Structure 1
Amino acid sequence: MNRKLKVLVSGTGFAGQGHTDAFRAVGAEVVGIVGRTPHVVAEVAQKMDIPFSGTNWQEALEACQPDIVSIGTPGGAHYETIKQSIEFGCHVYSDKPLTVDGDSAIKLYELAKTKNVKTAFASSFRYMPHVLHAKRLVANGAIGEPVEAEFMSHFHLERDIPFGWSHRKEDGGGRLNNNFTHMMSIATSVIGEKILSIIGEVRDDLGKAPIVKGVHNFKTRRDYIPKDLNDPNLEWGESNVEWSYTVMAKLESEFAAKPVSVLFKHGGLNPRFNEDHIVFYGTKGAVYIKGHYGMGPLYIWDESKTWQELPLPQDIVDDQPKVDGDTERNWQYLAREFVKDIEGQAFAPYQTFKEGSQYQQLIDIIRKNDNWTDVIHLQ
């Protein structure tokens, strides 16, 4: 392509601004940004030197004529925006979750196939350098045949974070949408992309949260926690999503004769005692990564019968975008491969709306919470 690809961004918060930086870094031109609140979107556009800003998505599509749209809003605002974009002929880069349920996600996936547009699904922590290292080690037989994996995380989120989209199922909230999507993406990237079966349980440990005006950026919401939570004039919103989950899955792997068992355990509100971690176990060893999203360092257990820390291979280090922040770096990694694909260059495979729609169907299944067997009658 002789010209820069034009990008229109939906969302003015952390994700929208992060997507803007990511696409600019990989050579695309961000021509417009759309948000809900007129003065906020105008301020962000001015701050980031984006030529067009507005609050009407269809008008923005007409005015900007983008090649790509980038969706950086909460999941509840995705469906109509993405649908209009696909019908307009745009390629779509969407943050997770794709939508609020499996049925609507499938419709977007099918529409994208019909309109022959490319899609990218940003459950993008699979691009963490230590995860890429683990993928290489497993593929090279360093642990023998993979047999099981575990993903353990405890976030200890503040219970009094202001009520917002993260508390509401209809807005794309919940820990499955915003944590499990990344965890499953990491698991499939290392073990294999084919998910065979799943079972799970969810729990709302929160109940309610204070209603506070003025929160526009997800990253700064903690700054708005009320100082007096006993104020009788304070309003409260009711949570209707999970803040903890336990999920088990079986994945097919080309490196193993039998399905690989995977445990995902997440407590959004629970404090951690030992570090969060990811482990891949095999018939001859194991790979352990510190951190809930594979931040590192990485350790291997092999024939030495002890855990040894392994440095990152230099080629993996060199291939990482040079930007601070894990989330921001992963967004840029995916944007780079997406742009390469659109421009007809060689690219690394990435997740699309196929995986995005599949993940929403999995979340629907898990949220049913109907996997228990009543044993109270047993003697």
Structure 2
Amino acid sequence: MKVLISGTGFAGQGHADAFRGAGADVVGIVGRTAHVVSEVAAKMAIPYSGTDWQQALNACQPDIVAIATPGGAHYEPIKQAIEFGCHVFCDKPMTATSDSAVELYKLAQQHNVKTAYAASFRYAPSVLHARKLVAAGAIGEPVEVECMSHFNLEHEIPFGWSHRKEDGGGRLNNNFTHTLSIVTSVIGENILSIIGETRDDLGRAPIVEGVHNFATRRDFIPTDLDDPSLKWGESNVEWSYTVLAQIKSAFAEKPVSVLFKHGGLVPRFHEDHIVFYGTEGAIYIKGHYGSGQLYLWGKGKTWEELPLPPEIAATVPHVAGATEQCWHYLAREFVRDIQGESVEPYPTFREGSQYQQIIDLIRNNSNWTDVTALN
């Protein structure tokens, strides 16, 4: 199957490797800067490169497109690709608004193309292990989930798409999407209700030229932040959030309560973690995206470190990096599905559009109760 990539940075190159790992032929790559896309294409031995997406669709005639640019740049390329008849693999966030995400989801249905939404840390090995344990009744009925993360990101990271709502920035778009997908993959996809609070505790960031790759943006932090010639951009997105959700689970009689707590700019004291609590035990996974060691609290009334079962280990792609492993896993499932093989359900534009609607609801939430008059 022929694949065309949109985006030349960390995600674009990662998607290209993932589809090659799935046995597909990466025939082209498109970026916004001519010399950058040419260099990336040469480095990765991709035969076609360019800056015009529609022209690339016509020239490459791809079966699949992989969208690996910031979320604010997703809408037009995805729309053109769907109308061209391509299956679409899209990184999160799906788009910058819920309306545009819903429109693309419906458009894909109309054109009968398959879609994949890469909120893909649900494929971390320990998350797959947790899913198996919960389904087997290892913690009884799930009752509560806790997702805690503190990133301690540098305030001085150069101003860019991650600081702008209209470009798909914000921690809900780029952190919550993964943790929500992780939780639903383990306990069930039926999200019943949600409430949340967000906070922009950054304010502004220095404007620096030459940042082309999100993964290396820290290399461009100015050495002199007091330089009077330095320009600043204003953030308009959240850098911290607290979200509560209720999710219906086939493994529990009552809805499961879920806490998502993320501080993008604050330091952690203990490790980030995800915990699934049940009526008869609990599962603890180290790491903000569940990529660390899994522990089970069971009948022994103590935390036990569990090895990864061989049948799960056999499915994990043999590549470096947790992010890259998960891209490879989802790309493999997507290609197999397109080719008519039987695969487990994976996140699609249905989830992508649903998550975008939820994010808009959280950002607009005004359900605070004023208690200042209480005695």
Same-fold call, TM cutoff 0.5? yes
1:374 deviation in Å? 1.0
Equivalent residue for 2:309, pick from 309, 313, 318 = 313
**Which runs of 5 or more residues in structure 2 are unaligned?**
none
Q: Contact between 1:11 and 1:72, CA under 8 Å: does it hold in 2? A: yes
How many angstroms apart in 2 are the aligned matches of 1:333 and 1:245?
29
Match of 2:106 in 1: 110
SS at structure 2 position matched to 1:147: strand
Q: Contact between 1:201 and 1:371, CA under 8 Å: does it hold in 2? A: no
1:52 aligned to 2:55?
A: no
Q: What code does the residue aligned with 1:184 have? A: L
Q: What code does the residue aligned with 2:94 have? A: L
Equivalent residue for 1:358, pick from 339, 354, 357 = 354
How many angstroms apart in 2 are the aligned matches of 1:106 and 1:371?
25
Match of 1:282 in 2: 278
Q: What code does the residue aligned with 1:365 have? A: L
Match of 2:217 in 1: 221
1:369 deviation in Å? 3.3
Correspondence list, 1:131-280, <5 A = 131-280=127-276
Q: Contact between 1:143 and 1:282, CA under 8 Å: does it hold in 2? A: yes
How many angstroms apart in 1 are the aligned matches of 2:304 and 2:27?
48
TM-score (norm 1): 0.98
Q: Contact between 1:246 and 1:266, CA under 8 Å: does it hold in 2? A: yes
Match of 1:125 in 2: 121
Q: Contact between 1:147 and 1:283, CA under 8 Å: does it hold in 2? A: yes
- Runs of 4+ displaced beyond 2 Å: none
How many angstroms apart in 2 are the aligned matches of 1:371 and 1:77?
32
Equivalent residue for 1:34, pick from 30, 33, 36 = 30
Number of residue pairs the alignment of both structures matches: 375
How many angstroms apart in 2 are the aligned matches of 1:18 and 1:122?
12
SS at structure 1 position matched to 2:314: helix
Task: State percent identity of aligned pairs.
Answer: 74
1:378 deviation in Å? 1.8
Q: For 1:190-223, what per-residue CA distance to the aligned partner results, in whole angstroms no more than 9, with x for missing partners?
A: 0100000000000001000000000000000000
Q: What code does the residue aligned with 2:352 have? A: G
How many angstroms apart in 1 are the aligned matches of 2:367 and 2:134?
31
1:348 deviation in Å? 2.1
How many angstroms apart in 1 are the aligned matches of 2:52 and 2:373?
58
**Which runs of 5 or more residues in structure 1 are unaligned?**
none
Q: Contact between 1:196 and 1:249, CA under 8 Å: does it hold in 2? A: yes
Q: What code does the residue aligned with 1:310 have? A: L
Q: For 1:326-349, what per-residue CA distance to the aligned partner results, in whole angstroms no more than 9, with x for missing partners?
A: 001100100000000001112221
Q: What code does the residue aligned with 1:170 have? A: E
Match of 1:73 in 2: 69
Larger mean CA deviation between 290-299 and 147-156 belongs to 290-299
1:315 deviation in Å? 1.1
How many angstroms apart in 2 are the aligned matches of 1:296 and 1:287?
12
Match of 1:61 in 2: 57
